[in-house]
Structure 1
Amino acid sequence: QRIKSEGDFQAAQDLVEGYGVKVDQEIHAEILKRNEQFTGAAYGGFVNPELVPRKDMSNKVYDIQVKYVNSFEYQMMKYAEDYGFLVKD
């Protein structure tokens, strides 16, 4: 956090060159191979499912339907629509 907050370029460069570029190629290849099974978009980790309550005739929740949206943009627009009225004083 300090490096980013202060804009310490030299410290950031040292961090990347000291840790970020030293990758064990065997482990890297294994990770890539294991990752092949995942077909979702890389940003998918930031897209939350929608939890939709299913209710009976008396309006009592009896189940939650999990809906997966395909777009981060859709999610942000939905959040704006649903929570845009909330303001920070």
Structure 2
Amino acid sequence: MGPANYVFHPSSLRCVLRTAVGIIRLIYSAPDVETPLHQTISVDYCTVISGKPLVTLDSGESRTNLPGDTLDYLSSFYLSHYGDG
């Protein structure tokens, strides 16, 4: 595979880096933005760099995440709320 492909999506303020081993996404969010309930189709890892996103599973279980926390999504249904933290 050639060099990684870099794509910027201004509508979601998301940077995507496609490599031979996977996809790296850097997501920025404005305060008080919530994603719809959705499901990953892959194994995704998310490391919080700043802020305090609240992740809610379809079971209703919620957790506020802090900088340095790493989450793994294994084909789960979830939504994220990005507060002003």
Which bin holds the TM-score, normalised by the shorter protein? under 0.3
- Could you say which structure has the greater relative contact order, defined with CA pairs below 8 angstroms and 6 or more residues apart? 2
TM-score by length of 2: 0.19
Q: Which has the higher helix share?
A: 1
Larger Rg belongs to:
1
